[in-house]
C-alpha cells in the first residue's frame, strides 16, 4: 500500500507531499490539470520508468533541470520500503531504502502496479510486438529471471543481426547456438503463460459481453514438432538446424527472420481471427479486460494483490458495461482512478474512498 509520495519538480505537480494511504483514491479534474501525472509518478516509483515517455528530461517541470519522487510503500505489516527516483545532471538514480540500486529489476517486484490506460488499445489492434510486450510484462511481474532471459536474447539477436548486416559470418554458429538456448526458454514460458492467461481472460470476457469462446492464440516462430501424435517443443539442435537452413535468407535480408522476436499472438473465436470483425467497443473492452486478467494472473502466481492504476478508462465504456466492469474488478491492494468532473464517480466510491480535486498541479480534498 502506498502511504505517501513527495514531489520535487515532477511535471506540473506542486512540490509537496500527498497522502495516499487510503485503499481507494480518486483524482478528479479537467484535462491537463495533473491527474495522470500523479498516476505516472506511482508507476515511475514501481518500475523506474514512465508509461508516457522514454525520455526522462521530458518529465522535469518547465524551467527546471531536475526532479525527484519519494514514495513510501508498505507491502505488509513491518515490511515498508522507501523508493526514491532522482534525476539530475541528465542522469537518473534509483534508491531503495536509501541504497542505490544497480538494476531496475530490483524494484519491479517491490510495488506491483497494473496500469489501465488508453494506449492499451494497442494490445488489441496494434503490431504483434505490442502483444508480445504485454505477455512479457505479465511474466516479468512475478518472474524476475525472465528479465535476464529477455535481455540475453535481445543481446544475441542484436549481435547476430549486426554480423549479417556487415557480412561477417564467422560467428553465426556461435550466435545460433546462443539464440536457440535463450529463445526456447522464452518460447516455453510464453506458451505456459498464455495457456494460464486464457483460463482467466476468456471467462471474464464472456461475463462482461455474453460472447463465449474468445481467447488468445499463440503462434511461436519456432513451430512445435509432432512425435507419435504429440506436439512437443523443438530441441536446441533442431532450432540450430532451422537457423542454419534459413541462413541464406537471413544473409540476403541482413536480418534474423525467425525466433521469439517474430512470435505471433492473436485473439480468436472459433479458430478465426476475432479483431478484424470486432466492433470498436469490443476492441476497447479487450484491452481493459486484458489488464483485469493480468491482475488476476499476478495474484494467482504470487498470492499478492496488485495496485491498480486506472487513467480515464471507464469513460470509454457504455453505462451497462461500465457497471459490469466495476463490479468484477479483480482483487487489489489499492485502487487509484482519474475522472473528469462530469463522470458519475460517486456511484463507484465507498465511504472510505479519498477524493482529491486536481487543479493546475495542486490537490484539494
Output the domain CATH number for residue 339: 3.40.50.300
Name the 3-class secondary structure at 134: helix
Structural domain ending residue among the three candidates 281, 302, 323? 302
| 2 falls within a domain | yes
Structurally, the chain folds into a number of domains equal to 2
- Is residue 63 domain-shared with residue 157, that is, in the same domain? no
Structural domain ending residue among the three candidates 287, 302, 317? 302
Residue entry with cell 476475432? 274
- Is residue 152 domain-shared with residue 283, that is, in the same domain? yes
Output the domain CATH number for residue 238: 1.20.1050.90
| 325 falls within a domain | no
- Is residue 89 domain-shared with residue 140, that is, in the same domain? no
Structural domain ending residue among the three candidates 262, 284, 302? 302
| 314 falls within a domain | no
Predicted structure pTM score: 0.92
Q: 217: which 3 cell numbers?
A: 492464440
Q: What single-letter DSSP state applies at residue 32?
A: T
Instruction: For residue 36, give the nearest of 149, 125, 115, 110 by alpha carbon.
Output: 115
| 252 falls within a domain | yes
pLDDT digits (tens, 9 = 90+) for 171-211: 999 999 999 999 999 999 999 999 999 999 999 999 888 89
- Is residue 92 domain-shared with residue 176, that is, in the same domain? no
Q: Which domain, by its residues, includes 40? A: 1-112+333-365
- Is residue 106 domain-shared with residue 131, that is, in the same domain? no
List the pLDDT tens digit at each of the 365 positions of the chain.
999 999 999 999 999 999 999 999 999 999 999 999 999 999 999 999 999 999 999 999 999 999 999 999 998 888 899 999 999 999 999 999 999 998 888 888 889 899 999 999 999 999 999 999 999 999 999 898 999 999 999 999 999 999 999 999 999 999 999 999 999 999 999 999 999 999 999 999 998 888 999 999 999 999 988 777 778 889 999 999 999 999 999 999 999 999 999 999 999 998 899 999 888 888 988 999 999 999 999 999 999 999 999 998 887 777 788 888 888 889 999 999 999 998 888 888 888 999 999 999 999 98
CB of 291 closer than 8 Å to CB of 299? no
- Is residue 9 domain-shared with residue 38, that is, in the same domain? yes
- Is residue 174 domain-shared with residue 278, that is, in the same domain? yes
Instruction: For residue 49, give the nearest of 4, 87, 3, 19 by alpha carbon.
Output: 87
pLDDT digits (tens, 9 = 90+) for 22-79: 999 999 999 999 999 999 999 999 999 999 999 999 999 999 999 999 999 998 888 8
CA dihedral 207, 212, 216, 222 (to 10 degrees): 160
**Rounded distance between C-alpha atoms, residue 232 and residue 58, angstroms:** 47
CB of 341 closer than 8 Å to CB of 30? yes
Torsion angles phi and psi, residue 48, rounded to 5:
75, 10
- Is residue 141 domain-shared with residue 172, that is, in the same domain? yes
Amino acid at each position: 500500500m502506498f502511504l505517501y509520495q513527495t514531489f520535487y519538480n515532477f511535471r506540473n505537480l506542486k512540490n509537496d507531499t500527498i497522502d495516499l494511504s487510503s485503499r481507494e483514491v480518486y483524482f478528479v479534474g479537467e484535462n491537463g490539470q495533473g491527474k495522470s501525472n500523479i498516476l505516472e509518478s506511482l508507476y515511475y516509483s514501481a518500475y523506474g520508468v514512465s508509461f508516457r515517455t522514454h525520455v526522462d528530461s521530458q518529465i522535469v517541470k518547465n524551467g527546471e533541470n531536475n526532479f525527484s519522487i519519494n514514495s513510501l510503500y508498505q507491502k505488509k505489516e513491518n515490511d515498508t520500503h522507501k523508493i526514491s527516483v532522482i534525476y539530475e545532471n541528465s542522469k537518473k538514480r534509483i534508491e531503495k531504502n536509501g541504497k542505490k540500486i544497480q538494476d531496475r529489476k530490483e524494484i519491479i517486484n517491490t510495488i506491483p502496479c497494473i496500469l489501465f490506460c488508453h494506449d492499451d488499445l494497442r494490445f488489441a489492434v496494434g503490431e504483434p510486438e505490442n502483444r508480445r510486450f504485454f505477455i512479457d510484462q505479465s511474466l516479468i511481474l512475478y518472474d524476475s529471471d525472465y528479465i535476464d532471459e529477455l535481455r540475453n536474447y535481445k543481446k544475441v539477436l542484436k549481435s547476430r543481426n549486426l554480423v549479417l548486416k556487415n557480412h561477417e559470418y564467422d560467428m553465426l554458429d556461435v550466435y545460433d547456438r546462443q539464440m536457440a538456448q535463450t529463445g526456447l526458454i522464452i518460447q516455453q514460458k510464453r506458451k505456459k503463460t498464455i495457456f494460464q492467461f486464457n483460463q482467466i481472460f476468456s471467462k471474464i470476457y464472456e461475463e462482461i459481453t455474453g460472447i463465449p469462446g474468445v481467447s488468445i492464440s499463440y503462434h511461436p516462430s519456432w513451430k512445435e514438432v509432432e512425435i507419435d501424435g504429440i506436439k512437443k517443443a523443438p530441441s536446441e539442435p533442431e532450432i540450430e538446424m532451422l537457423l542454419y537452413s534459413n541462413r541464406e535468407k537471413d544473409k540476403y535480408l541482413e536480418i534474423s527472420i525467425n525466433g521469439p522476436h517474430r512470435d505471433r499472438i492473436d485473439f480468436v473465436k472459433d479458430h478465426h481471427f476475432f479483431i478484424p470483425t470486432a466492433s470498436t467497443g469490443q476492441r476497447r473492452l479487450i484491452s481493459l479486460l486484458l489488464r483485469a486478467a493480468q491482475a488476476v494472473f499476478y495474484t494467482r502466481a504470487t498470492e499478492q494483490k496488485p495496485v491498480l492504476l486506472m487513467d480515464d478508462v471507464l469513460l470509454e465504456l457504455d453505462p451497462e458495461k461500465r457497471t459490469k466492469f466495476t463490479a468484477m474488478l479483480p482483487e487489489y491492494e489499492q485502487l487509484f482512478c482519474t475522472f473528469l468532473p462530469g463522470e458519475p464517480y460517486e456511484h463507484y466510491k465507498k465511504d472510505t474512498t479519498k477524493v482529491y480535486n486536481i487543479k493546475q498541479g495542486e490537490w484539494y480534498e
